[in-house]
Each structure stands twice: as C-alpha cells, then as structure tokens.
Amino acid sequence: MRAAAVAALLLATSPAEAADGVLAITGGRVVTVSGPVIENGTVIVEGGKITAVGAGLPVPAGARVVDATGKTVYPGLIDALTTLGLTEIGSVAGSVDVSETGDVNPHARAWIAVHPHSELIPVARANGITAVLAAPQGGLVSGQSALVRLSGTTPDALAVKQPAALHVVYPTGRAPFDLSRMFDEPERKTFEERQKEKRRIQEKQLERLRHLLEEAKAHAAALEAARAGGPAPPSDLRLEALAPAARGELPVVIRADAEDEIRGAVAFAAERGLKLIVAGGLEAWRAAGLLKEKDVAVLLNVDRLPRRESDAYDAAYTNPALLAAAGVRFAIVSDDASQVRNLPYEAAMARAFGLAPEAALRAITLSPAEIFGVAERMGALDPGKDANLVVATGDIMDHRTEVTHVFIDGAEQSLETRHTRLYREFKDRP
Amino acid sequence: MKRPAAALGAVALAATVAAAPPAPVDKGVALMGGTILTAGPAGTIEKGTLLIRGGKIAAVGQDVQVAAGVPVIDATGLYLMPGIIDAHSHTAIEGGVNECTDSVTAQVRATDVVDHRDPDIYRQLAGGVTTINVLHGSCNTIGGQNAVLKLRWGQGPDGLVFKDAPRGIKFALGENVKRSNFSRPGPRRFPATRMGVEVVLRDAFREAQEYGREWEEYEKKVKAAGARGVKPVAPRRDLQKETLRDVLAGRVLVHAHCYRSDEILMLIRVADELGFKVRTFQHVLEGYKVASEIARHGAGASTFSDWWAYKLEAWDAIPYNAAIMQARGVRVSLNSDSNELARRLYWEAAKAVKYGGVSEDEALKMITLHPAWQLGVEQRVGSLEVGKDADIAVFGAHPFAPDTRVEMTIVDGAILFDREKDLAARARGGEATSGGAR
C-alpha cells in the first residue's frame, strides 16, 4: 500500500502543474460532509478547485485518474487550534516561537513566525490534516492567529486567513509568581478567602483588558480623525492590533476551561461586544445552555482528564456529545503541534462517547471552517471549494486506517515525512 | 450490555466481594457469547465462554461447560481482552514521583507512597487497565524502586500491591538526568552530561560490589567463628548499596528510561561489564536504531506509540519504533507515562498496526502479554489462559475500532468497573462516580 503510494507520487507531475490540471478521483466512498455520503462516487478537480462531486460522473478527457475503489474520500481535515509551525522541538528555545514575553501582545502575529519548512507540517499532513489554525499562547493577550494551509514554501503560500482571531487567556486568578517569596511559608487561608482573592486578581486583569479595548477604540477613532486632517496620535502597535477585535469585527478566542471562566468570558464578551470563541472548554458542557443562547462556538480537545475529582470519568469524552445535543457549535482540536496528526482520533473518542459519527467528522472539517469564516473555501466536498482532499483505506477515525493520498488546492502532497525517511533508513538494519 | 436479570445479581455480588479483601465468588461467573481476544496461544475465540472461579480463569473456549447455578453474564456482541498492563505509570504516587536530591536513590520505594484514593485508578480501570508499573521519576541516574500495582479500586495501599511481582528499579539516562531542560536556582547537580551519567552508574555499582564483598567477608567470618567463637562485627547496613547489590544478583528488574541510541548502547556495555541485566528500556524512542542490540541483551522495550519533538532527544522518534523493535525480536510494550493516555492504551496499540503493519494479535500483546513479561508477572497476567488471574477488559466493539468503549473491567474475578453501574450511580447521585466509589 505504502510502496504503491510512493510510486504513484514519483509518477505524478509536480504539485504546481497538477494543481492546474484536471483530476478525477473515482470509485471511492465519497464523504462530502455537507451532504449525503456517495457510494462509488467521483470527485472532479480542475484548476485547484472541486468542480463536480457525484455518482457516475464522466471522467473528463485527459484527466489524471486516481482510482479510489475500496477507499474513502474525505475533505481535508482542519485543526482549528494548534501551535503548528510555531514550535519545532519543545525543549529547544531557539526553535520555539509560541509565547512572546510580557502579557499583552496583540501585535504578535502568528503568520510572521509560522515556519513553512517545519518538519512537523508534513507529519500532520500525512494523516489527512490540510489546514490548521496556528495560534500564539500565553500571557493575557497572546497575539493573533493565522489559518494556514499545510502546503507551500513561503508564508504567503501558506496563508488562508490572517488574522483569523485575537487570542486571549481568561485570567485564572493565580497570584503572579514572586521569586522573592518562593521560600516563604504558605499563608493559611480559608477556601472562601482564597476564592475571594482569586476573583480579585481575575477582576483586576479583566479591568486591564477592558481598559485596553476602550483605548484601542479611542486610538482607532483618533487615527480616523487624523485621516480627515486632525492631529495624528502617537504610534501604538498594540492598540492598532486590538482595534478590530475591540470593535467586534475580529473574533476573540478566549482560552477558558473551568465553568466559571467560561461564564466569565461569555459575560465579558457580551459586555464589550466581542465576537467570542471559547478555547479549551473542558467544562463547556456545564455552560451549554448559555453558550447556545449567546451562540458562542467552542474549540475543544477531547482526550483530557476531568477537571474535578467528583466528575464522571468520561466528562471530557462526553463533552462534545453534550454540546451537540444542546445545539452549541464546536470544533474538535488537537491544541498541540507534534500531535496534530492525531486529530481524527480525538474525534473518535467523542464518537465512542455518544457523538454521532457524522457530527464527529464535521467537528474536524466543516465546523472549524464555519467558525473561522472559511467554509466557502474548505471543510466539505462541494463544487467551487478548494480541492483539499484525502483518500484513505477506510474510516479516517479508525487508528488502523492509512491515508494514501492528500491533495491541497488540487496538488498532490508527498506523504514522505521525517518519520518515513528514518523508517526506511533503519527498518532493515540487521 | 445485554444481561439477564439473574446475572445482574451476580454482578452485584462480585462487586460487593470486591470491597473486601479478595475473597472470590465460589460459584464463579461465566462470560458467555463474546469474542475473546486471548493474547495467548488460542488467539481469537469467537462466541466463546470464559469461566471465572476463585479469582482465576477456570476455563476459556468455545465448548466450556457451565454448571447450573453459575451466574452468567451475556457477552454477546462484546469483546473480551486481557486487562491492560501499563509498563510506565506514575499513578497513585502524586507528589512522590521524584526523589531528586541525589543522582542515586536506589533506597527509596514507590510502594511507601501509594495513594489508594487517587481517582485516576478508577479512571484507568474505566479504560480497561488492570496492572500498572508505578515507576520513580527520571530525575536521577539510579532512581527509586517501583511499585507494580493491581488496580484493586476500593482497597487500601497494601491491597493494591501486586504481591508476586519481582522488585524493580528505575534508571534514567539523558536530558532529564542531566537536568538540561530545567532551570532552578543554585549549583547544578552532577551529572550534567551523558559522560557524567555513565560515571554515576559505574561508580555506584563499583561501590555496591565492594559492599557485597564486605558482607561476604563477614558471612565467612561468622561461619568460621561457629556458635562459640567471638561474633564478628557486621558491616553497617546501607539500603542504597543493598538494593544495587540485589540488582547485581538479578533480584531486581532494571527499567531504564532512555532516548538516544548511543546511550542505550552505553547502558548495555556498562551492564555487561558490571554483570547485571536491563529488563526494559523505557521510552527508548531511538530503540529502532539499535533494535538488534536490545534483543541480544535480552531486554524488553516499553515505548510511546507516537510521541516526538517535545525535546531534542525525542527528535528522531518515529511511530514505527514499536514495529521495528518487535520485528528484531524485542518484546515491545506501549505505555502511557500519563494519567490521561493510560485510559486509551487500546488505541495506542492500534497505532502499531498503522505504523509498520504489526498484526492485530501482536499489537494487542504490546499492552498485555509483553508488559506482563517486562514486569516479571507473565505467569499471572497478560493473557486469557486457564490458571491466570481473571483480569479482563470487556469492550463494546473490537478494542481497536473507533466506536469502542470499555463496558466492564474485572480484576481478580471482581467487577471493579461497570459502565452501567457507573451511569446508574450518576443518575442517582448527581455527579459522583469515581469520587463516590471509594
């Protein structure tokens, strides 16, 4: 199987040429996501776009034919929360560009640092992931994310949407680390006292954020006035970067796991008129009604431990099914870089714990595309969309399934990775 | 799960018994009609019956006679596999993982700090895990002694210990031991290089050998003095050296955390020179580069399915590692090193099928029979064979399938996780399940 795939690759024209040519993927089980599954279906690709999807379609003359008989064809998977391209080797600082120093960095933009030649990208791609949200982390305001396709040798070639969102970490209320007090005896406080202290720190941070957003709007207004001939305000990249989010134009992804943090984020977003997306969302099921009411989408990963000792053992596993039942929009994400390839298995766990298989697949294809406003281009097999396609030997959420072909914008991608190269080098060593 | 009313009584009975020290149901229990993945010579048994008696597997096969009166659990449509064994865990010793102050701490023991109330025990039972190898951390070259535990949820700390398991000890090589990824105030600890790690090993074992000779001398003198002579003075007992002496005598299994292929070869050389064996290389992410050498040493390898890139020594990690080592004759297990990952080891095993084409039977052994051998308990657990402990994970579909889920987990014949009961408890008491079960 693998050898055949490699051989097919060698025969294929170079990606750039292939993207312009005509391609027909025939005979497969076509899972469109947006519509019904088509058995023995055909997908026609032309000029990097899907032009037709259906059963019994004629293959255009001169088209390259990929026989997918016995296989399943999916839209490329989308991982809507990662640090892919921002980190290479976790422990090697020189290879990590995830978190800026300081805690208010709205002007830190992921697409400046997403490394097109990261060895992690082909590894993710080889298991069917064709686009990701690359997002900075840390601080209070982490920075801006980019939605990137996993093919291309320059940052511009990767770009799909930048900025995709502003990323904020909901204040946890933990006191800032103080080295000078590291060896002090811990203060004895009651639970109530500690809760009060936590809320005080949280409120202080939120007040800071509130202030920054107001300043950003004022700064934007001053810039507007300057364009009309008024005096120019002093340059402030932070405030400039915050303005679109402050005005409710750019989505704000707020990382929040605990129920009170999620509810706090929803209240804050409502108060400031922000376009909120919750990330993490470990206890989103506890606030499902509110999230539905306010139409807030959630980016969550499934393979996590419950947050509370008293929680059911499967609280994180059933989270997606409960959100689906409540009508909350959500995407399943890896929230990782080297583990992006395991995205379909996060969806599998949601499936094992009550999420319908179709909904699980949607959570790693069309739903993330909708949440980040790129559903016109990707997330389903519809005519007119970018030809991001995956051919697999079976159910893509089954760990035993192999991905045999990946196309991004109609161009066939190599399935070679650092891992397959090392495998070849050592598998026959005596 | 399809289960006749009569069987429900049996389930309740077994669960009650589980709360007391193991006193298995005399009549036994029969699980009937399921697909039995034995991980033993019998392979897969379709529509099989597994009879449990006295906490052991009394019979397994297609033609097992079940006497009248033996409670029956209808396992039609379900899959039975041996309870999963995690050969690298730090569950139930939170806060007691690393004795980090010295690079040789062979004297400390994980069994002294077992917390039987850790909810992760229950959570892992719910993932089909029944035995775990609780290891000391990787802070030091020679860490503390391990605790092989059975997840007998509901029992006290001593009740969790796998009594017949041989003692084991954690070694560690590379970045963690060098403390290269950790910054803390104060002077750095020796060793700070891989050179130093080798020196610490050699030094510690030389001392242990000398200590052993002191005791041999002493024992000779005792013999010579006879009953009437002047009693010789015994050497001062040193718990650290005593443990290493036991390693040299083959009484303690060495579980060595390692990453790079050169450091794996280093440990093999040192072990050969000093005269001990490594039972398992843990993590061993570059094991595929020296798989034949590992096989020749006679060691097993306990690795991650696909972790990589989290540190420099994990940069050459590949998901084909397990498959290559297995093909070279190494007994390979897939472990979690994580309270979260431990709950889905059945899918970690499935990845060995995807990466390198390991057969499903062999992949299953990577979380059952092979880790059992690695912990020296393969006579007791790791496969569904007559005479072995009745440690069984019952799945709703094939354990590698995407829709599968653990429905029931049995330890020593007692049902310690039952999803139906768990759901019923939630319905009754709100949220409390794992919390309420203790």
Torsion B349-B351-B352-B357 (CA) sign: positive
Instruction: Tell me if ipTM is over 0.85.
Output: yes
Mutation target to probe the B interface, by most B beta carbons within 10 A, among A83, A95, A313 is A313
Lowest mean pLDDT among A183-197, A320-334, B93-107, B346-360: A183-197
**Taking CB atoms and an 8 Å limit, are B318 and A353 in contact across chains?**
no
B354–A311: do the CB atoms touch at under 8 Å?
A: no
Q: Judging by DSSP bridges, how do beta strands A389-392 and A403-408 pair with one another?
A: antiparallel
Angle, helix A259-272 to helix A191-227, in steps of 10 degrees: 30
Of A308, A338, A400, the CB nearest to B354: A400
Query: Considering only CB atoms, which chain B residues are within 8 Å of A308?
Result: 431
**CA–CA distance, B354 with B83 (Å, rounded to integer):** 22
Helices (H), B249-344: 261-274, 291-297, 321-327
- pLDDT-based confidence at residue B181 (cuts at 50, 70, 90): confident
Least confident range from A11-25, A31-45, A345-359, B132-146: namely A11-25
Is the model's pLDDT at A58 over the cut of 50? yes
Distance from CA of A30 to the nearest CA of B (A): 19
Instruction: Determine the distance in angstroms separating the CA of B186 from the nearest CA of chain A, rounded to an integer.
Output: 13
**In the numeric block, which tokens belong to residue A293?**
């009411």
Nearest by CB: B351 against A306, A395, A399 = A399
Q: Helices B194-225 and B261-274, interaxial angle, to 10°?
A: 20
| Structure tokens belonging to residue B202 | 């050699």
DSSP letters along A227-243, please?
HTTSPPPPP-HHHHHHH
Show the tokens assigned to B21: 């020290």
The per-residue pLDDT for A19 is: 55
The answer to whether the CB of A246 falls within 8 A of the CB of A268 is: no
Do A397 and A350 meet the contact criterion of CB atoms below 8 Å apart?
A: no
Percent of chain B whose pLDDT exceeds 70: 91
Amino acid letter for position A258: A
Strand partners, A255: A169, A279
Q: In 10 A of CB A238, how many CB atoms?
A: 17
Q: Which of A305, A337, A338 sits opposite B339 (nearest CB)?
A: A305
Q: What angle do CA B138, B139, B142 make, to 5 degrees?
A: 75
3 state SS of A113 = helix
Q: Which residues pair with B82 in a beta bridge?
A: B392
Closest CA to A70 of A50, A43, A44, A41: A41
Judged by DSSP in three states, A168 sits in strand
Residues in chain A closer than 8 A to B318 (CB atoms): 418-419, 422-423
**Pick from B122, B324, B404: CB nearest A313:** B122
CA angle B67/B69/B72 to nearest 5° reads 85
Question: What pLDDT, on the 0 to 100 scale, is given for residue A180?
Answer: 77
Give the DSSP letter of residue B233. Answer: P
Residue A9: its pLDDT value, please? 43
Residue A213 distance to chain B (closest CA, Å): 36
Question: Is the CB of B434 less than 8 angstroms away from the CB of A309?
Answer: yes
pLDDT digits (tens, 9 = 90+) for A283-298: 999 999 999 999 999 9
Are A352 and B403 in contact (CB < 8 Å)? yes
- Which backbone phi and psi does B153 adopt, to 5 degrees? -55, 130
- SS3 assignment, position A74: strand
- Give one DSSP letter per residue of B117-138, joined into a string: T-HHHHHHHTTTEEEEEE---S
d(CA A399, CA A318): 20
At residue B13 the predicted structure's pLDDT band, cuts being 50, 70 and 90, is very low
Q: Tell me what percent of the residues of chain A surpass a pLDDT of 90.
A: 90
Q: Using CA coordinates, name the residue in chain B closest to A179.
A: B185
Residue A255: pLDDT band by 50, 70, 90 thresholds? Answer: very high
Answer yes or no: is pLDDT of B187 > 70: no
Whether the CB of B309 is below 8 Å from some CB of chain A: the reply is yes
CA torsion sign for B337, B332, A420, A430 is: positive
Mean pLDDT confidence for A79-106: 97
Chain-chain contact of A120 with B351 (C-beta, under 8 angstroms): no
What is the per-residue pLDDT for B19? 47
A274 vs B29: CA distance, rounded Å: 59
A27 vs A67: CA distance, rounded Å: 6
CA–CA distance, A306 with A274 (Å, rounded to integer): 29
What is the average pLDDT value for chain B, to the nearest integer? 92
Helix ranges, A363-413 (H) = 366-371
What is the average pLDDT across A217-241?
A: 96
Instruction: Please give, rounded to a whole number of angstroms, the shortest distance from the CA of A426 to a CA of chain B.
Output: 6
Task: Tell me which chain A residues have a C-beta less than 8 angstroms from the C-beta of B436.
Answer: 310
Q: How many residues does chain B have?
A: 438
List of chain B residues whose C-beta atoms are within 8 Å of the C-beta of residue A304: 340
Chain segment B93-150, per-residue pLDDT in tens = 987 899 988 999 999 999 999 999 999 999 999 999 999 999 999 999 999 999 999 9
User: What is residue A292's predicted lDDT score, i.e. its pLDDT?
Assistant: 98
Element (H, E) at A212: helix A191-227
Contact A351 B402 (CB under 8 A): yes
pLDDT value, residue B6: 39
The beta-carbon neighbor of B309 closest among A90, A310, A427 is: A90
Buried b (16+ CB within 10 A) or exposed e, A77-96: bbbbbbbbbbbbbbbeeebb
- Check pLDDT > 90 for residue A17: no
Residue ranges in B70-193 assigned as alpha helix (H): 119-125, 157-160, 175-178
Q: Name the nearest CA neighbour of A52 among A19, A23, A89.
A: A23
Burial environment of residue B27 by CB neighbours within 10 A (0 to 12, 13 to 18, 19 or more): middle
The partner residues of B178 in beta bridges, in order of sequence, read none
**pLDDT tens, position by position, B268-315:** 999 999 999 999 999 999 999 999 999 999 999 999 999 999 999 999
**B351 shares contact with chain A (CB less than 8 Å):** yes
pTM of the model: 0.93
- B312, B401, B432 ranked by CB distance to A92: nearest: B312
d(CA A285, CA B427): 17
What is the predicted pLDDT for the residue at B95?
Answer: 78
Question: Would you call B327 and A427 a contact, using CB atoms and an 8 Å cutoff?
Answer: yes
Cβ of A88 within 8 Å of Cβ of B404? The answer is no
Search chain A and give the residue with CA nearest B349.
A399
Q: In the structure, what pLDDT confidence band is assigned to residue B10 with cuts at 50, 70 and 90?
A: very low
Q: Do A427 and B320 touch (CB under 8 A)?
A: yes
- So what's the pLDDT on residue A176? 74
- Give the pLDDT mean for B194-210: 97
Interchain contact, A430 vs B401, CB within 8 Å: no
Radius of gyration of chain B (CA): 23
> B288 and A338 in contact by Cβ < 8 A?
no
Alpha-carbon distance A86 to A99, whole Å?
Answer: 9
| Nearest-angstrom CA–CA distance, A309 and A23 | 53
Instruction: Say if CB B260 and CB B174 are below 8 A apart.
Output: yes
Neighbours of B430 (CB within 10 A): 11
Does the beta-carbon distance from A399 to B292 stay under 8 Å?
Answer: no
Q: Do A312 and B434 touch (CB under 8 A)?
A: yes
Residue A28 φ/ψ, nearest 5 degrees: -90, 170
Q: Does B205 touch chain A (CB under 8 A)?
A: no
CA proximity to B336, closest of B373, B363, B371: B371
Q: What DSSP assignment string belongs to B23-72?
A: ---SS-EEEEEEEEE-SSTT-EEEEEEEEEETTEEEEEESS----TT--E
* Burial letters A207-223, b for 16+ CB under 10 A, else e: eebeebbebbbebbebb
Candidates A170, A138, A147, A162; CA nearest to A244 is A162
**What pLDDT sits at residue B179?**
86
**CA dist., res. A339 & res. A341, Å (int):** 5
CB A399 within 8 A of CB A345: yes
Sign of CA dihedral A87, A90, A93, A99: positive
Cross-chain Cβ contact A419/B181 below 8 Å:
no
Identify residue A363 by its one-letter amino acid code: A
Tell me the shortest Cα–Cα distance from B324 to chain A, in angstroms.
6
Residues from chain B that touch A401, judged by Cβ atoms under 8 A, are 354
Other CB atoms within 10 Å distance of the CB of residue B72: 18
Sign of the CA dihedral B245, B250, B253, B259?
Answer: positive
Chain A residues in contact with B120 (beta carbon < 8 A): 305
Chain A residue numbers touching B435 (CB-CB < 8 A): 309-310
pLDDT of A143 > 50? The answer is: yes
Q: B320 near A423, Cβ under 8 Å?
A: yes
Q: Quick check: A2 pLDDT over 80?
A: no
Give the separation between CA A282 and CA B182, rounded to whole angstroms: 29
In whole numbers, what is the pLDDT of chain A averaged over residues? 94
Q: How close B65 gets to chain A, by Cα (Å)? A: 34
Cα gap A119→B237, rounded to integer Å: 53
Angle between helices B239-248 and B194-225 (to 10 degrees): 90
pLDDT digits (tens, 9 = 90+) for B343-381: 999 999 999 999 999 999 999 999 999 999 999 999 999
Q: How many CB pairs under 8 A join A and B?
A: 123
AA identity, residue A272: R
